[in-house]
Every structure is written in structure tokens, then in C-alpha cells.
Structure 1
Amino acid sequence: MGGFQQFAADVTTRLSAMSEGELYVVGDGLDRDSLWLTFLESFPAGTNLRFRERSEYDCSTCRGFVKNFGNVVEIHDGRVRTVWSGVSASDPVFSVVAAAMDEFVGTLPLAGIFRSTEAQYGTRTTRALRDGRVEVWHHLHGRVEKRHRTGDVGAARGAFDAAVQVFQRGLAELTLPALDTVVDLIDDDALYRGTEHRRAVTEFRSLRNRWAQAADGRAFVFANAMNPAARFRNTVIGTLVQDLSAGVDLEQAVRSFEVKVAPQNYQRPTALITPAMVKAAMKTIGELGLEESLQRRFARLSDVSVTNVLWVDNDTRSRMKDGIEGLLMQAATTGSAGARLRDAKPEETPVVAFMKDVLPAATSIDLWVAGSHEPNLVSLTTGRHPDAPRLFTWDNDFAWSYRGNVTDSIRERVKRAGGNVTGKLRVSLSWFNHDDLDLHVYEPDGTHIWYQDKRHKLDVDMNAGGGESREPVENVTWTDHLPDGEYRIEVNQFRKRESSGVGFVIETESNGRIEHYRHERAVGQKETVEVGRMTVTGGVITAFRPGEGMRPGSVGKDLWGITTEQFVPVSTIMYSPNHFDDSEVGNRHYFFMLKGCVNDQPTRGIYNEFLRRDLQPHRKVFEVLGDRTKCEPSEDQLSGLGFSSTVRNSVVAKVTMAGGRRRLLSIQF
């Protein structure tokens, strides 16, 4: 076999082997004529004799092959290899040509995928009659396998280019820490249906790790661009990784993800922290020496300095931290002993006036603990190690924890929603999730007040169009004519959206008296609950008969060692710890510690809103720490009722003044 014949056969064999895998082209915008010129000029001097009109290796057939296949490459073991790679021939001339073409083509950048409309370029042999004899000419030639052929080359190359761009952007923009965070969230079951996305995340993470270690990054991208995992950036889970990679807060990023994939009533089951976040937080805790500061307990009266107490009961003074000697109280004034309360209605007193004018001369104080005060139950906490560094923004180690998440009332919710609370009679419905509950009231004559016939009385109707609030209310108020007789109250579940935060509360207000009736179980789709029947006489509620499943909120119940709906003695009155020692850090709370009030539940001693500024970056971890390092119940704790200075509220106090005079006050906050 001649030199060129062997060379052509070797090139054909090489192309055939390459065609078993994917083929690519190099040289974006390459002038194909330059390939042919490079091929011709690669022959050693004197060997490419072009004295004839046509020769074996510079004919139009070979030119067609070189221009169409000369820049075709494969990616083998992460490296680009040309159709000329490894081609050798018995004739050293053609070995030189192959090496020269391999070097030239190998320097060109990857441009795209190879696709062709033609099945073959070049032909093996041609014949010609010369001097009466038939001559056989051998040529470069190659056949395009079916997998590399298409009727629309532009579309095929365009789709591949788009896949490359998506993959490249994903590799460049999606960081390994963000990928690791999402995997941690999935493994901790903190991501909605996360297990469905775990394989996609881990496969892309594997690709990214291999890309970072690849000798030729672009070759790696081309070789893996059609892998389904390469499109990860454009998937819904990929958008979460994008947000985290861009520095979006974890909570916000996950919330955005859940909006895309989770149903409206979805509630995340666990806190959003990852092992990496824990490691970073613990590093800061260790550097600041805060390990002992995380150990919390209920505060005792003996922990509190008398300088931070506004009032203390006589029986309690000796238990104070600084003893009775440190307690400076105004001398009691003489008066008529045994005086009785003369007014059945308490006199309203702003809390500031109460502190200034009443406390100095008070010898005993009892609070009326209403059922509506349940969210106001509060406990004072402190650290187990007094010398440990402080955790909070104020200069002491005390904190507090309410039984409820917020100190608020249904009345205030109605007002914020634009409802009227100043009529002769009010019936308000409050619930705690995105369900669409509807309030129905039937007047004595059968008039039906509901969302389709409001009668100018139903003025608030929330969550009707969608679950926009977790503090929804509906409100019916009678401002003028209020017929006597029996009123029937019902609640209907128009659209059930959630299975958590179930139940509802009905609040009635008549002649200044507020009552609550609670339904604690879930209300099914289209189910109607009869709240009860109330009797109105002379414009005032005179009786209320709750329906089945309704629990009167105004009935006293045992709670934290005390019984609601009755007077309970006060042991100590103080500001919240953020206002101890003349400090004024944030919102002030007024604490009325009650005798016998004992929080019997493990209680948080750490809240993120209390933390020092340098601990705020680790607030996610501290949120979990606060939940898992709760204060265990103790008998000698300081618990009672707390009221925020920024939330309207009131509590009735029975005060015995020096000399025996007794006053009934409604303290206004």
C-alpha cells in the first residue's frame, strides 16, 4: 500500500473510531480554506509537487474532506484530540503532515458540536484514463454516522450552545458552600419535598467538583453539557442555590423556593440551620467565652437587686438580693383603716400615674387575672453562671419569656383591620391560619348577617380571596338599633387551607365587658360550628349559652399555679431587664410578679431579638439554641403578668393603701 493510500486509510480509521462518541468542532468562525492551505503547506519542502493538474492529495475530493472534517475533534479523558491525533504512516512525509495538522487544529478553541446534513465527505478512490491506461487515485474520505446527522444543523448546534451556556453559568455562579447548605437542609428534612431534589443537587455538585479539578475546563463543559445535571441552574432547586450563592439570607431564599413549589398552607417543620452555620456560631461562642452564658435558668427574687424593683410586698422584702436595708420606700401615711371599696366600676389610671402616685403608698396589690391575660403570663430568666459574659444588648444577664408569642387582643386586631369596636354590641371572630372562616349572626327576627348580606354591620372579612394573614378577624358591630332577644352565632369553614394553627376564638363586647369563647379543634371543609346563643336585654348581653365544643374563655382555669378570673396577690413589680439600672434599651415592659405563679413548662432563656450585635450573624443558630437550652421549671421563680408599653392593654388591680384605704383601679397600658 502506497504512502498516501496508507495515510488516507489511517485517517478514515481514526474518524470512524471517534464517531462512536460525540464529535465537536474547533475554531469558531474558522475560514475553512485556511485548513486546506495548512494541509498543503505542511508537506516537507519538495514533496508536494503541484506540477500536474490533479494529484492524489491536493485534489478537490481531498479538499472537501479537509474543509469539512479537518477541524473535527473528540474529547477523550478530559482532553481534546483531533482527527489527525495519533495518525502515522509508513511514509514519513505523511506522518509530518498528520503531526502538523494535529498541532494546528489542536490550538483552536472548542466551538460547538459537530452535525452534518451529508452522509459522507470525500471518496475512497477515483479512476481516470491516462495514456490508454486506467489509473486509480486514492483520497481522504470519511462517513458521517447517523447519530451525527440532522436535517437542521443550525438548530442542533444552537441547542448545544444553549446547554453549554447554562452549564457554564451554573459552574461559575453556583458556589460549593451554597450547594452544601442545600444538601444539609435536605438531609435535615428542613426543605419542602427536599428528598426529591437531593440527587439533582449532589450530581451537579459532583460535576462542579470535577470541573474545578479538570485540566481543560472548557473541554469538561463540552463533554458534559448534555448531562441532565448540567441544566441544574435552570431548575427550581437551582434557583435556591443561585439565591444562596448570591448572598441572599437563608430564610428568605428558602421562603422564595417554597413559594415556587410548596402549597399555600405549607409550614416548614424545622429551623433553618446547617452544620456549617453551627460550626461558625460555635467558633464565635468559643472565641468570646460564651459557653457558660448559654446555660439559663428561671430567675429568683434573691437574684434581683432592690434598685430594680418598683414595688415589693411586705412579706417578700426579706428575700430580696440586697435585703430590706436597701429598699427605700415612702413612709406609710395614716388613714382610715378598714375602708371598703365604694365604686363597683374601677377607675382608669395610666400606668405612669399608677407608678408615680399609687405605688409609693401601696401596702398590698392584687391583680384580676382574666382569661384574656393568658398571653401576658411572663417569666424572668437569668444565667446559671453570674460571672459569665453577657449575651444581651443590656448590661445584665436577665431576660424574659412570655407564654404567648405576642401580647395582643382580638379587639386590637379588629381595629388594625379597620373594624368598628365602639358600638353598643360587638361580636368578633379570630383565628390563626390561612383558612377562610366566616362569621354568621342571626338576629332575633331571623335577619342573617354574613359576608353576602353584611347589613352594614359586618365590616371586616379576611382571608376570603386568599390566605393573606395569619392573624385574620371578622367583625360584626351594632352601632344604633340593637333589638332585644336571642342571637345565634355560627362559624362556617368556607375554604380549608391548613391543618395547623386550627381552631378559633369568639370575642363579645357589651357594656365594656369582654368575654371569650374558644373552639380548639379543626373546622372541616364546609363545616358549620354553632358558637352559641346570646340573650340581649336593654342593649346588653345578659346570658350566653355556648354551643357544643365551645369553651367559655371567661371561666376560671388553673394556669401556672394560679386560677384565672379572680384576684391574685402581687409580690413584686419591676420593669423588664432592658430597663434595669436606668438603662433604656428598646421597648419597656411592666412586670407584675404574682404570688404562687409558677411556670411549669421549660422556657426559653435566649431570644434573638435580645442578642448582642456581634452575635446577630449567628441568629439562626441561636434560635435553635434558645429552643434546645430551655430553663427547667423551678418553684422559687419570678413569674406573673407582663405588659408592653407599646401595646394597648389593661388590668384591674385591687390596691390597699397605707392606712387601710382600698382602691379598685384599671391600669391602662
Structure 2
Amino acid sequence: MSFSESSRSSQPSIVDVASRSENRQPNREICHYSDLLRQSIRERFKTVTEDRQGKVNLFTTATTNLFQIFLESLPPDFRQHHTCNSCRQFVDRYGGIVTIDPDGKTIPVMWNPELVPEVYAPAIGKLSSVVAGAAIDNVFLSDLQTWGTPVTGVWEHLAIVPGKDLVFESTTIYSIYQLVAQKQQEYQMLLRGLADFPIEVATQAYSLLSNETLYRSEACLGIAKWFLALQQQRQSARNSRLRENLTWLAVANAPPGFCHIRSGMLGTLLEDIQEGLTFSQIAEKFNAKMNPLQYLRPQSPPKAGNIAQAEKIIEQLQTAGALDRRFAKLEDLQALWMPNPTAPKVERKGIFGHLQTATTKVQQQIDVPQIVMTWEKFARTILPTAKTIEYFVPTSQQAYMALVTAQNPEAPPIIQWDTPEYRNPVTWYFYANGSSPKAWNLRSNTYCAVTAIVLQPSLWNQPEKFAHKGEKAFLLLQNAKDKQYQKGAGFFPESLKSEYHGIRSTMEAYAKDAVLEGKDEATACGIGLQKGGTWDSILLRVTTGNNLQVKYQLDRWD
């Protein structure tokens, strides 16, 4: 069974069709039944692959001689009519394709004996049984608009027109064959990870990460949750075939890098747990590796071959202009909150204009005690009515940060969450171990106006797709600027699209030396609030629409 196919390698074949049409006339009764057969296959394919929530993944199975099985199961007087190379190519090429349900059961996409005329039921039932019982050997991808050859001369053949979401769109970087080969490799890598780390170890790793006791745990939480869920699914499966199928389904839907269990940060955490290290030892090693200056960043200069490959990829993708970056401004962002405009002061005229009336008496501020709450509750209950917000700048070092965007907003996307449908080239950076208020043009022990609140850019559009990137909120502060900045492009390799994974050492070297434009004009710098652990320095003074002023101490995310 072919794992993939491309329009470049598929040519209609009409061997024996011409002679068939010349030497005999179609049997009208059999033709009627064959019309119903073709219709039933199309209906079956549509039912299985359309009108379903989420992406439909297709897989090939280790099946052979499907067309021979089909012919031999037909009544003798039907066999000659169906002896056709075009139909043979369709059955042998597409007849073994399946989907996988959530329990790991394979579902043939072409065959259902209950839909076909009774005369075909034994043959279609046999095909369905053989395909459903076969092992999956890879994902199926095709860039063809039509699967099979619908018509040759006066003869109609088995063929399918797949939905647009099932037609693979090729890229300039990876061919369809390379992507299929990559999925095969990812399957093998994932199997090794599953074999090396049992479910007990995966459970402990997820518990440590979800309890937010490790530094930047959100960067690994998504893959840890995914890996544990797969372990649990496999454990509940009734047999090894279902476990294999569930693994293939996970590979097909895995975000980039998720199958590389052993080579990622999750793998090192799993290894430390498996070796029986204490929590303090595990945390120390994990925190050191998760330092933003180390995590997913090549630690040696790129080699000449990687640089040459990078030049080729950048040229193919035509993204050279996208590497030019600048400091972001408020107008570049999708704000969760911004201050309400203050009503203009009305100047009273006349001799007695300065006197207060009963209705213009200055309202006395009520002394409301400081309130402690989570960020989640603050965002849900306080932000909607907040007119102004001020952040109390402590003397200690904090996670101050800056948002960065593309110099040219029309440049092609290079960031994972930047797509043609949802343009969003914004990234962020901060310094390991925090930095002082002075380094960000802020005065300690004073309140600073919050000019906007934004979630981290990966959450602006399709947040569920990038949930594994973690959750942060940024309070952008008035006049905040990175005074210590000298160079750096403001993105990490972990934020780039998968096309750049193979050249990350070159991209990192470039990012280290690149200089952002607009340092002095930046208006999107401030303090970062990260989900995980507890906070002791986030004090906000909020003025509501009715001029009530309340202080809120945010102690954690949720």
C-alpha cells in the first residue's frame, strides 16, 4: 500500500478498458448495480470523513491484493465486468485507508457492506474485515484533487473527490514524501519514549509541572499532559493493536516536537525522576536547564552546512524581511484592557463659577481595605469596570519584559502563532532572574500607570492551539523602556515555525546579534505575570468608574 502520493506521479491508466469497450457491450443490469456500488462508496467516504469535529486523520494499512480479494468475492458473472485496471488501481491504492476512533479502533473509509447492493455485500464485507484487521503502517497524505480515475471512454470507475481539508497543501520546504517519512520517524521516537518511561514516571512528572513548583513549568506542561494522556489511553486499551493505533493517532495530531520525548526537557525530567533523585535535586537541574538563556537555544556557533541550509530555507520561504524586528507599540497589540478615557473637565464661567453646588461637591474617598485575590478573579470581576490601574513598583528585581514585533507588518509569518488568517508577529522577551526598575526607566516605591493589559501573544488567536506555550499576562507601564538593551531579536527558537527547526542554531546566532529598531519609541514594556507559583509583589491601585479607589494584591494566577 502506498503511504503517500503526489499529482506528479499519478497518471490515469486505461489498460484493457479500450479493448473491453470494443469487444463487448456493458450489461445494463450489472452497470446499474455498479452505479449503486460507486455511489455507496462515495457516501461511505463522506460519512466517515466529513461533518466531524476537528481534523480527520487518514492512515494506510499493511494490506495487499485488495482488488484480487474483491474480485474473488464477487459472483462469477460480475467478475469480468469489474476486471479493470482503473478500478484495480483505486482499490489497491485507496482501499486500505482508515481513520481511528478515540478508542483506537480502525474504521475503513471506503467499505461498508450495509450500504451496497446485496450482490456486492460479501465482497465489500470481506474488504472491510481485512482492512479493519490490518496494522497501520503510516499516515496517508495526498495532494490530488480526485482519488482514482472517474471516467475513461464510456466506462465509469471507482473514484472519490475528497474534501478540501483532506487535500495536502505542499510547501517549498518539505515534500509530501518527506513529511510522511517524518511521521514514521516520530512514531518510532514516541514508541521509544513510551517504552523508556512508564506511566508512573509520567504521572509524577505531570504532577510536578502542574503543581507549578518548577521554574517555567508551563513550557513543558503541555507535552507532559499529552504524554500522560497517551499513556493512560494505551493502558486502558484491550490489546496491543489498539495501543499501536492510539499511538499513530497521537503522532498524527501531535504539535511539532511533542514526539521527541527523550531529546526534550520533558525527557530530562523523566530521567531524573526515574533515577530516584530528590525533589530539590530535580528542581535544581530543571531550573538551570529552563533558564531562558539555555532552554531550546543552541550552545555552540552554527556550522557552515547549517548556515547554507538556512540561506536556502529563508530564500525558499521568502521570509528574509520577516527577520527585521522592532520594539512594539500599543497600537500593535490586542489589549485585554486599556484605561477608559477621562471625561474632559468642564470650565465654569461667571463670577460664581468656582463655587460648588450640592451636586458638584467633591466625593470623599472611602478607605477600602486592601483586597487579596487571584489574577483570574481580578480579570473577570475588576477589569470590566476599572477606569485606571496603577502598579506599585517595588525595589526588588522583577520580571520586566518587552513586546517585539515585525518591522514590516506585511512580511511573511515566521512565528508559530502568526498565520495568514490571523496576523500576529508579536513576541516577548525578559531577563533571567529579573531586572531592576531603574533598568526599565521606572522609579521604585511609587505607583506607575498601567497603559494596557495584554495576554501573551500566543493566546490572542486560537489559544487552544498554543495552550502548551503556557499562560502569562503583561501589565504595560507608562514610560517603561529597556534601558539596558543592546542587541537581540527578541525571539527564541522555540517560538519559530517548524520549518525553521532544522536551522535553529543559525537562527539563534542571528537573533543574538540582531538589533531591534525603535528602542526609544517603545510603548509596550512592563511587568509579566506568569501562571505558576505564588506572587508577593503585584500590588495594583484601581480607580473604578464611580471614582472609588481600591488596592488589590494579586497573589497567584488562579
Q: Which structure: greater helix fraction?
A: 2
Q: Which structure: greater strand fraction?
A: 1
TM-score, scaled relative to structure 2 = 0.40
TM-score, scaled relative to structure 1 = 0.34
